[in-house]
């Protein structure tokens, strides 16, 4: 089975309620007949109203983070079960703005991934190296560490509900995108690590997204790479036209 292309929009801490509804509605209409899997990740507060807008559409809903626990005295946290109840199919785990901005450790991210998967969610597990790590040839060792600790203890069944997003930190929100070749090399390496951890079938079936300044202008080259199965889009997901142009680009480069 060829891997189906997947385009995910991470809205971060942007949009008010009216904008969230409008954006979701535009994406739902535009992606209606798409051959690509499409998901959007609004802020927590807009999950319920956006779930309503997406009802009956082919666009999936996801959260930007989840708690590592099911329930309890964890002020300000949101449990994966609550996300499921709110209509989410997905959650991001380990976005660099949490890894590096909020010092979330590999161990914590592993617990979040497990808690989300146990609840029944799908996970987009984000990894990526810092600029100084790339400049000092540590990209592969960083990715290996993030994957081997972050995904430790997951079962092969759980891995069918995990996507990886490779997002070089130096490319996120900077306008500086990885070259097609840099992305392909990193994705091929991720697939090799997955093969070592979970075997050939998981390695071949896992969707690996590229993220970091993906725009309609650069999406085509990235999505044409054999191991790039889609995109995790930040800035360009906040406008219906640019997000749909990336979805369209993925449809053109789909594997099936
Ligand atoms: P960007 O963000 O597309 O704005 O670089 C990507 C991301 O953070 O997932």
Q: Is the CB of 30 under 6 A from ligand 1?
A: no
Q: Name the residue of 96, 212, 214 whose CB sits within 8 Å of the most ligand 1 atoms, as the mutation to test its pocket.
A: 212
Report the alpha-carbon angle 106-111-113, nearest 5. 90
Cα 174 to middle of ligand 1, angstroms? 9
Overall average pLDDT of the 230-246 stretch: 98
Torsion of the alpha carbons at 170, 172, 177 and 179, rounded to the nearest 10: 70
Please check whether residue 64 is in contact with residue 92, taking contact to mean a CB–CB distance below 8 angstroms. Answer: yes
Dist CA 181 CA 227 (whole Å): 11
Q: Is the CB of 233 under 6 A from ligand 1?
A: yes
Q: 3-state secondary structure string, 118-148?
A: HHCCEEEEEECCCHHHHHCCCHHHHHHHHHH
- Which of 215, 217, 214, 192 is CA-nearest to residue 203? 192
Judge whether residue 97 has pLDDT over 70: yes
Name which residue sits closest to atom 2 of ligand 1, judged by CA: 234
What pTM did the predictor assign? 0.97
pLDDT at position 1 is 67
Judge whether residue 254 has pLDDT over 70: no
Name which residue sits closest to atom 7 of ligand 1, judged by CA: 234
pLDDT at position 175 is 85
pLDDT at position 253 is 77
Q: Is the CB of 232 under 6 A from ligand 1?
A: yes
**Would you place residue 2 in the very low, low, confident or very high pLDDT band (cuts 50, 70, 90)?**
confident
pLDDT above 90 coverage of the chain, percent:
95
**Would you place residue 256 in the very low, low, confident or very high pLDDT band (cuts 50, 70, 90)?**
very low
Cα 72 to middle of ligand 1, angstroms? 32
pLDDT at position 244 is 98
Task: List, by residue number, the catalytic residues.
Answer: 95, 167
Tens of pLDDT, residue by residue over 32-91, are: 989 999 999 999 999 999 999 999 999 999 999 999 999 999 999 999 999 999 999 999
List of E strands, 142-202: 162-166
For residue 249, the Cα-to-chain-centroid distance in whole angstroms is: 17
Q: Is the CB of 172 under 6 A from ligand 1?
A: yes
Overall average pLDDT of the 182-211 stretch: 98
Structural domains in the chain, CATH included, are: 6-252 (3.20.20.70)
Q: Name the residue of 9, 10, 127 whose CB sits within 8 Å of the most ligand 1 atoms, as the mutation to test its pocket.
A: 10
Q: What integer best gives the mean pLDDT of the chain? A: 96
Dist CA 62 CA 89 (whole Å): 6
pLDDT at position 69 is 96
pLDDT at position 255 is 53
Judge whether residue 169 has pLDDT over 60: yes
Please check whether residue 67 is in contact with residue 79, taking contact to mean a CB–CB distance below 8 angstroms. Answer: yes
**Would you place residue 184 in the very low, low, confident or very high pLDDT band (cuts 50, 70, 90)?**
very high
Overall average pLDDT of the 130-158 stretch: 97
For residue 109, the Cα-to-chain-centroid distance in whole angstroms is: 14
Q: Name the residue of 93, 94, 167 whose CB sits within 8 Å of the most ligand 1 atoms, as the mutation to test its pocket.
A: 167
């Amino acid at each position: 089975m060829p891997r189906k292309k997947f385009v995910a929009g991470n809205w971060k801490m942007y949009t008010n309620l009216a904008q969230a509804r409008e954006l979701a509605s535009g994406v739902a209409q535009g992606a209606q007949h798409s051959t690509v899997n499409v998901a959007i990740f609004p802020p927590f507060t807009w999950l319920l109203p956006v779930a309503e807008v997406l009802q009956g559409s082919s666009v999936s809903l996801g959260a930007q983070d989840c708690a590592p626990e099911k329930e309890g005295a964890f002020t300000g946290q949101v449990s994966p079960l609550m996300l499921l109840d709110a209509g989410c199919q997905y959650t991001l785990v380990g976005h660099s703005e949490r890894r590096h901005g909020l010092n979330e450790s590999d161990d914590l991210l592993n617990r979040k991934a497990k808690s989300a998967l146990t609840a029944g969610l799908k996970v987009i597990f984000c990894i990526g190296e810092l600029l100084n790590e790339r400049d000092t040839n540590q990209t592969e060792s960083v990715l290996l560490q993030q994957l081997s600790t972050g995904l430790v203890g997951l079962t092969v069944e759980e891995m069918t509900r995990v996507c990886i997003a490779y997002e070089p930190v130096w490319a996120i929100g900077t306008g500086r995108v990885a070259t097609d070749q840099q992305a392909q090399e990193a994705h091929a390496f991720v697939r090799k690590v997955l093969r070592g951890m979970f075997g050939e079938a998981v390695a071949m079936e896992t969707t690996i997204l590229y993220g970091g300044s993906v725009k309609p202008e650069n999406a085509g080259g990235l999505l044409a790479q054999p191991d790039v199965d889609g995109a995790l889009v930040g800035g360009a997901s906040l406008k219906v036209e640019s997000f749909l142009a990336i979805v369209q680009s993925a449809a053109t480069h789909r594997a099936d």
